Amino acid sequence: MLLSTPSRYRRRLFTVSLRFSAKSNISSSSSQAKLLNPPDEDCRGFLPWLEEKAGAEISTKLYIGKSSYGRSLFASQHIQRGDCILKVPFKAQIAPDNLPRDVKVILVDEVDHVSMVAVAILAETKHGKDSRWAPYISCFPRLEEMNSTVFWSEDELNMIYGSTVYEETIKQKFIIRDAFSKIRPVLETFPEVFGSILYEDFMHAYALVKSRAWECPKGVSLIPFADFLNHDGFSEAIVVNDEEKQESEVTADCNYAPEGEVEIQMSVPDGDILHQMKMEIFQRHELPTICDANDVKSSSWNCFTIREVKSAKGKGKGIPQSIRAFARVLSCTRPEDLSDLAVEAAQNDGRLARRPFKDNSREIRAHTILLSHINRLIDQCHASIKSLLPRSFVVSASGRHSFRRQMAMDLHTGELRVLKSASAWLENYCEKLSKGVAKMVDRPTYNT
């Protein structure tokens, strides 16, 4: 008998929600860990349901507790890489297949899987205690407890203006609004299934799925208990979906180390005398956009994701090759320099300015442009942090606003750390190249 190969998925890390969560209290003493973060009594009915009715297997090393950021998973004992955290059958998960057939047929070609699972949650919420997932749904944070930035007011969003999260939030708000416009006629067609659903209800369900869902063979699904892992930004897990056994196994990956990252955008200045030529060359040739030697991938032709550089004297792991290539193109001051880059790209793999300039002075100029850009972003981060200091607010903020202000502060502080690490590496790189140029200048010459 031919067995299906289990599919393997790493937890999908969705953006928009700021992941500031309590670190798991991994301790050799179970009582000590539970004293620091006691189990959540509100979820008392959830675990028996999951273990008995759903037939799930859960590690005794984990329990659900409350942190300052909501419900999270806590470890009462050490968890090793490869340890099975839990096994949950497909039938206990909430996926697009859980939608009523008539609803699914209409939605399948209209919206994405996240929206479909959100609609499934709305349908089960309408059933109340009669829903087979009632003990699970009761553990979801309420709308007023949600701190995803899609729920922030305009004033609150201004606290993170200029950050990647701000841009992503605006994009996600549009996506949610667009999805609801497509789903609303379906909801109104089946009032006996959904009741009266407002935009805020859908937005709540969508945000729950977006921040908690796992990739699966059929799109995305909510895996009871496993979704609490999304509150722990300091660990990662892997899901193995076994079609033969019809279950998902969540395995710990304790070697995962969180790294801050920042997305930055660069452009060709309008006043650049070679502006048109540079834009044309960018269109004709690719920058190095695949995962490069520095394990970083750029998201578009002029947007780049940089990660924290661990050592200023290292290889610059964390700064993508693509942004350095972009800076090399920006630094060109003569048409023939751009033509040389185009020829070099055509003779190799088609990617532009992938190799360092042979002339150290030109390589320094390129990286100085990048360094100046990053230093300007550092100044902006400092200004944003200063504006969030308590003395900047005349009116005392509410508890929720203070919490979100702290989230914004944490975001800018994290970005500042990443940017400073990149700046330090670039300064060191340029300094090393400058010493090479100095040696060339000081080298004695001999007449023949």
Report whether pLDDT(23) > 60.
no
Phi, psi of 182 (to 5 degrees): -80, -30
Lowest mean pLDDT among 157-166, 305-314, 430-439: 430-439
pLDDT of residue 85: 74
- The widest CA-to-CA distance across the chain, in whole angstroms, is 97
Over residues 215-225, the pLDDT tens digits come to 877 788 998 87
Amino acid at 142: R
The mean of the pLDDT values for the chain is 78
Alpha-carbon gap, residue 259 to 296, rounded angstroms = 12
417, 260 in Cβ contact below 8 A? yes
Please tell me what DSSP assigns to residue 15.
S
Alpha-carbon gap, residue 314 to 317, rounded angstroms = 7
Alpha-carbon gap, residue 318 to 422, rounded angstroms = 8
Task: Show Cβ contacts of residue 211 under 8 Å, excluding neighbours closer than 6 positions.
Answer: 14, 16, 17, 148, 230
Alpha-carbon gap, residue 252 to 271, rounded angstroms = 52
Over residues 385-420, the pLDDT tens digits come to 998 887 544 444 567 778 888 888 888 998 999 999
Report whether pLDDT(172) > 90.
yes
Alpha-carbon gap, residue 423 to 185, rounded angstroms = 51
Q: What percent of the chain has pLDDT over 70?
A: 72
Phi, psi of 220 (to 5 degrees): -135, 155
Alpha-carbon gap, residue 92 to 396, rounded angstroms = 45
Q: Quick one: tokens of 345?
A: 């790209």
Nearest to 430 by CA among 374, 367, 375: 367
Alpha-carbon gap, residue 160 to 413, rounded angstroms = 11
Report whether pLDDT(369) > 50.
yes
Alpha-carbon gap, residue 222 to 96, rounded angstroms = 10
pLDDT band at 427 (very low <50, low <70, confident <90, very high): very high
pLDDT of residue 209: 93
pLDDT band at 295 (very low <50, low <70, confident <90, very high): very low
* pTM (whole model) above 0.85: no
Lowest mean pLDDT among 5-14, 239-248, 259-268, 358-367: 5-14
420, 175 in Cβ contact below 8 A? no
Over residues 78-110, the pLDDT tens digits come to 666 677 777 888 888 999 998 999 999 999 888
Token match 């005349």: residue?
394
Alpha helices per DSSP H over 213-315: 275-284
Report whether pLDDT(289) > 60.
no
Q: Ranked by mean pLDDT, which of 128-137, 196-205, 338-347 comes out on top?
A: 196-205
Half-sphere exposure of 398 toward its Cβ, with a 13 Å CA cutoff? 3
